[in-house]
Structure 1
């Protein structure tokens, strides 16, 4: 995988159907009052992904490998491996069903052969791309399609004559209460994705092995910030277009009318274009989710992360098959997705803490270790996410 695309692959991975839906609902229901959560998420993602990329460059190993080196205790290593496998491996299998379903819904809006048929077709396509190794070109095309969708949202937003004053006022009057906490956590959860930490570290490590080339380090860091920033901009624009189309208006946003956000520019073709964007976002994530699972699980088991390895292929194939089965039988994967969200919500602070520890270890070259500022920002991110989770938990019992 080309090193200059690793950050963009990570950005494309978190812009899936879940992000499109979450951002649309946030804009439609709360306008710009929750943009602060999105901005926090983007900055936090930049910080954590930068650590993951430096880890891969400095050690030539993925995040799973690095985490398991923190202790020589077999029980603790077993617990860590089990947590990684359950949260990333099983969790990504649940998310895969959502990715395939989102892409299938998009395609079915254009050619109606049924979402189960499209889910199976897309699963086969994702598997063929991964097994041949030629998925890189396809993924680049998909990233381009998502970028094109962002461009159309921007043009739509301008032509829709949004109330910029209202956006500004809502932006500086953030909300965090019992009515918004769930959406705040959803915005954070759809942007700061734990499996992307494993994916980014492994992609960079496999491309460069261990290197102390400062030019490569700086280029990787710049590209990561740029790519993740672009992903955040796409999400922000979706929030803005949904706010313009639905906020404060009698028509409520639902799965059937999400595409009307684009109606001011595209008219009767709005739903089709939105469907194409949903397909692009879904298929991109449908490729990266099993890939990340394979890197994480193989690393947790101490196995080779070569993409041509038998276990590596078995893991991503299992994730795809699980996603196809759940998506094609028409069962809403709510319980599976809830499990994935719960385990990933539990995993994020834990992984972030361990990542902070790893990034200060002497085994990492000095140029790649965390600075004091990086440690403080990383610790603040972890503390904030934990506090939000505890706040949500407390509200359940009040």
Structure 2
């Protein structure tokens, strides 16, 4: 983070108004830039060392990383760690590697073609196809928001004793948080997110130290195993982890956020911006992997080790931590980290919702109104499940939301891979063949796993 004032940070450079690159592969022109109010608003360094330049680009990757550790991910990681020990750590690792590849393509699309993924779909496909992709993106955002609503409500309940039904309704007020931060400039949003990520990391570091896991088993847990594909229940949880790690809305989000940097319009400046943005997201996703793995390791070292193999709900984990670790500090840290995750996810869901709606429909809506509509859609099922099934139903709803996200992934991943592999659409910014090859493998694995899940669901 730079030390400039908010006003200076929000002041765009003369070279930041770089228009979308017009290439013959697109059916229509790019139109307005992504997140027009924040486009090119963060100053960058044109001269100096690589590290000095990188500092100016650090930030969007951490907002993207938030989506890889939202409350929905906690439920799947807790369930996986308590039931299967350290075995699903390999899924967390593979998912994170997939995420690094895909997010690098997002940076390439946003900077190189001057379009976020929503704009690219609108400009590349006929209207009926673009509308179907828009509906898919909105479903993914709603599923994400559902996880945030439940996670934040549970965090409020665990810390302050607020009933879940009331906590779910209180989450509607978080729209004022994003509005307040936007008023100070995009760097303040990034600083807030990074600060909360630091709190989350510290909370889990202390809990892991208390749990004292078997590090030999932890290392072996990162090794791949065919049991994941053969065991239907393990596959279901693995898909949940995948859906919570590689998230559709993050692909739209990142391709828009990278355009908040003040890179120049030339090919050389854009290529350097792509490289620096990729470094930013890779570093941030390594932090996300550390936190995701910590959740699973904590569950394996406490719940699985003690025979509590059915812990899949956040309030269960909170209740069991104190007697298993012998400290009342552990559940408090767990609740604090959960609440921080919910607040962070609120910011990213708001921004991704704005990018999706403006990109696909060219419909500009006040952020508070867009946020309230999305949040109301998520609140209705959350309140219904909480009242009807009580606290037990929230854990299953969280896991289900992550599987829904996993099923929506191909509709975002396939267009992203096709766009960035096209010379006509990307020109000099086309992805290297080896990156495209990795992205294709990633897409095939995701689609194959989803097909197996559907077949098992209907015929298993």
Range of TM-score over shorter length: 0.7 to 0.9
Structure-2 change in CA distance of 1:262 and 1:146 (3 Å): farther
**Structure 1 residue corresponding to 2:345, chosen from 285, 296, 306:** 285
| SS across alignment from 2:233 | coil
Q: Residue 217 of structure 2 corresponds to which residue in structure 1?
A: 166
Q: Distance in 1 between matches of 2:59 and 2:447?
A: 31
Q: Residue 322 of structure 1 corresponds to which residue in structure 2?
A: 377
Q: CA deviation at 1:314?
A: 3.6
| CA shift digits 1:286-323 (9 cap, x unpaired) | 221132122112211134xxxxx436554333112333
Q: CA deviation at 1:223?
A: 0.9
Q: Distance in 1 between matches of 2:347 and 2:326?
A: 29
Q: Residue 298 of structure 2 corresponds to which residue in structure 1?
A: 241
Q: Residue 132 of structure 2 corresponds to which residue in structure 1?
A: 82
Q: CA deviation at 1:266?
A: 7.9
| Worse overlay, 215-224 or 158-167 | 158-167
Q: CA deviation at 1:50?
A: 0.7
Q: Distance in 1 between matches of 2:350 and 2:101?
A: 24
Structure-2 change in CA distance of 1:194 and 1:354 (3 Å): same
Q: Distance in 2 between matches of 1:15 and 1:277?
A: 11
Q: Distance in 2 between matches of 1:285 and 1:244?
A: 27
**Structure 2 residue corresponding to 1:369, chosen from 418, 430, 441:** 430
Structure-2 change in CA distance of 1:335 and 1:82 (3 Å): farther
Aligned pairs for 1:292-311 within 5 A: 292-303=352-363, 309-310=364-365
- Is contact 2:148–2:345 with CA below 8 Å preserved after alignment? yes
Aligned pairs for 1:333-344 within 5 A: 344=405
Q: Distance in 1 between matches of 2:264 and 2:109?
A: 9
| CA shift digits 1:237-291 (9 cap, x unpaired) | 1111111101142334243331344777781122222111111111211221132
Q: Residue 237 of structure 2 corresponds to which residue in structure 1?
A: 183
| SS across alignment from 1:15 | coil
Whether 1:28 aligns to 2:82 is yes
Q: Distance in 2 between matches of 1:365 and 1:154?
A: 42
Q: Residue 122 of structure 1 corresponds to which residue in structure 2?
A: 171
Q: Distance in 2 between matches of 1:337 and 1:162?
A: 26
Q: CA deviation at 1:197?
A: 0.4
- Is contact 2:144–2:401 with CA below 8 Å preserved after alignment? yes
Higher relative contact order (CA 8 A, sep 6+): 1
Whether 1:358 aligns to 2:408 is no
Equivalent residue pairs, number: 388
**Structure 2 residue corresponding to 1:255, chosen from 309, 314, 331:** 314
Q: Distance in 2 between matches of 1:268 and 1:358?
A: 51
Q: Distance in 2 between matches of 1:36 and 1:153?
A: 20
Give TM-score, length-normalised by structure 2: 0.76
Structure-2 change in CA distance of 1:130 and 1:32 (3 Å): same
Q: Distance in 2 between matches of 1:237 and 1:157?
A: 7
Structure 2 gap ranges (5+)? 1-37, 43-56, 388-392
| Worse overlay, 61-70 or 40-49 | 61-70
Structure-2 change in CA distance of 1:171 and 1:197 (3 Å): closer
Q: CA deviation at 1:129?
A: 2.2
Whether 1:151 aligns to 2:197 is no
Q: Distance in 1 between matches of 2:102 and 2:316?
A: 35
- Is contact 2:137–2:249 with CA below 8 Å preserved after alignment? yes
Structure 1 gap ranges (5+)? 304-308
Whether 1:59 aligns to 2:119 is no
Structure-2 change in CA distance of 1:342 and 1:240 (3 Å): closer
Whether 1:275 aligns to 2:326 is no
Whether 1:217 aligns to 2:274 is yes
Q: CA deviation at 1:34?
A: 1.5
| SS across alignment from 1:224 | helix
- Is contact 1:46–1:225 with CA below 8 Å preserved after alignment? yes
- Is contact 1:88–1:344 with CA below 8 Å preserved after alignment? no
Give TM-score, length-normalised by structure 1: 0.86
| Worse overlay, 109-118 or 166-175 | 166-175
